[in-house]
Chain A
Amino acid sequence: MGNNLDALTTVFTEFYYFVTVVFMFLIHVGFCMYEVGASRRRNHMHTLMKNTMLIPLVTITFFFFGWWIYWAFVNGPGITGGLADGSANAPWSPTMATHLGDRITGVFWAAFLLFSWTAASIVSGSVIERIRSSAFWIHAVLIGSVFWIIDAAWGWSANGWMVKVLGYHDAYASGVIHAIAGGYALGVLVVLGPRLGKFAADGTPRDIPPHNPWLVTIGLFMIYTGFWGFYAACNVPAISPEAIGGMITGETWTATNIYLAPTTLGAITFNFLMSLSGGLMVAYVVSKGDAFWTYSGGLAGIITASAGNDLYHPIQAMFIGGVGTFCAYKLHHYVERRFKIDDAVGAVAVHGYAGFIGVVIAGFMLWGQPSSPYEGYAAINPLGQFIGAIIMFGVLGFLPAFIVSKLLASRGMLRIPEKAELEGLDHHSELAYQAAVDDVRAAERAIAERHT
């Protein structure tokens, strides 16, 4: 820190990212509430623990190799160059620890880590009540510490090859988090199969209602809250043109998106709320007031507009959110009926389809705008965005999930046995619970009898 202004900027930036991490914790609380509410009573604790344990597993693997991937894989490697220098972010680097010369790496790492949890948690909800925890946790590490962070290196970095070559623009991660996680969930679901009883003999889907709609909706409210932190974490809060080192002239400081192109917190505040509103309004009407889909539609609205929410006009964000929500709702039911996909929480639709559509729409809305403040980068364009959406949803999402699920299924490691599914995943813990209750009751009765 060279002078007082540098010191103030550094400490402000450090605190800014720290606060976003705290906010983003609420996303995970929300996902846990949501999943438990959506599961049936005999599966509660298993569902909760399945999601909870992805936290430590993704955290330690993101420390060991995920964060290094982000810095080292910006060129592919092998697409626009070789492995980039990620040594400062390798787990043995002194700056990946307590270090007075680097106050930002820790909080920046944590902000990305919370995105990693989110990616894994999106998959978690769709596969409830029939996946083995052991299989899910392998998937959680792969999506959370490998595949999403590869796509971030490619398309969510100032130096990413997709930004340079395709003009890829995805400021608040429609594709980078949501499309990839939705695609990944679909890849698992195709192999995993539906919950028992989900489809009638003639293939008609049955609704499996959440056991606690209140918990589901409050969980989704919590995710909205955490989403504010997510949005803030996607920005650099204050930076000078000199520090960007691109083509921007003058001395006006600005907030930027992840590509270091100018935006404002005001812009994303407008657009977050307007796209949320567009999604909620469309979802309420199209689902005929169904609470689960209305709340999910709010999320889908934000997710669809996220790719360009650093640049859209708020009314544009509202319409884009509405369009994405309508498409996601219709696609969910079409895919369920046509392909017999049992997505328990609609994650493939809300995150995957809405994210994919959002990336594509941004290509048209932002056509010709600079994707970066640096020279030589492709401008934002529809073809680049479409290819980018396919890479996110299909190449880095669906494909690896499908292959790994096939491998796990071939060894009998993916799905729980049918009898266990009927008995309920909490069978073991419920037996222990009941035994403990019986034991305490017997002890208390014995004490009570002494007083008679």
Chain B
Amino acid sequence: MSTNGMESWAVDLKDVGAIYPFQGTEVILVIAGLVFWIGWHVLQAKVEAKELADAERDFNVEHSGNSIDRY
């Protein structure tokens, strides 16, 4: 029993196709991948919103003047 169905290489390679593990789970993998991708955007947007809120809170004219001068 093996995770890709191959237990030996005593085969003719012209008869072999996919050799990745857990074949048959491709759709589940794609769904999980899509969830990961969308989740990443959600999480990233939250982190960025917090950073921008912090920058807004810390705003003062003198500091922003320095930032502008620094270019």
Q: Which A residues form the contact surface with B (CB < 8 A)? A: 241, 246-250, 252, 254, 261-263, 267, 281, 284-285, 288-289, 311-313, 315-316, 318-319, 322, 365-370, 372-373, 375, 379
Contacts and interface: CB of A to CB of B under 8 A. Distances in A.
A252 B21 contact: no
B40 A285 contact: yes
Contacts of B16: 262
A285 B37 CA distance: 12
B4 A311 contact: yes
Interface string B1-45: 111101111111111100111100010011011001000100110
B40 A311 contact: no
Contacts of A369: 2-4, 6-7, 21
16 contacts: A248-B12, A248-B13, A250-B12, A254-B13, A262-B9, A285-B44, A311-B19, A312-B20, A313-B21, A313-B26, A315-B29, A319-B32, A368-B1, A369-B6, A370-B2, A372-B9
Contacts of A285: 40, 43-44, 47
Contacts of B12: 248-250, 252
B2 A262 contact: no
A262 B12 CA distance: 11
Nearest to B37: A281
Contacts of B33: 315, 318-319
Nearest to A254: B13
B13 A319 contact: no
A258 B28 CA distance: 31
A284 B16 CA distance: 39
A178 to B, nearest CB: 22
B13 A241 contact: yes
A-B pairs, top 8 by smallest CB distance, nearest first, are A368-B2, A250-B12, A247-B10, A252-B13, A313-B20, A373-B9, A315-B29, A369-B2
Nearest to B47: A288
A311 B21 contact: yes
Interface string B30-71: 101100100010011001100100000000000000000000
Interface of B: 1-4, 6-16, 19-22, 26, 29-30, 32-33, 36, 40, 43-44, 47-48, 51
Nearest to A284: B44
A134 to B, nearest CB: 42
Nearest to B23: A313
A292 B13 CA distance: 44
A247 B9 CA distance: 6
Contacts of B6: 369-370
B11 A248 contact: yes
A298 B7 CA distance: 33
Given A313-B29, A316-B29, A281 B40 contact: yes
A367 B3 contact: yes
Contacts of B32: 315, 319
A252 B13 CA distance: 6
Contact of A289 (B8, B30, B47): B47
B36 A318 contact: yes
A447 B1 CA distance: 86
A285 B47 CA distance: 8
A333 to B, nearest CB: 17
Nearest to A369: B2
Nearest to B48: A289
A285 B41 CA distance: 10
A375 B9 CA distance: 9
A379 to B, nearest CB: 7
B9 A370 contact: yes
A249 B19 CA distance: 17
Contact of A315 (B10, B30, B43, B47): B30
A261 B9 contact: yes
B5 to A, nearest CB: 9
B27 to A, nearest CB: 11
B67 to A, nearest CB: 18
A262 B7 contact: no
A267 B4 CA distance: 15
A263 B26 CA distance: 19
A365 B30 contact: no
A250 B9 CA distance: 11
A43 B40 CA distance: 39
B11 A370 contact: no
B13 A250 contact: yes
A248 B10 contact: yes
Nearest to A317: B20
A247 B2 CA distance: 18
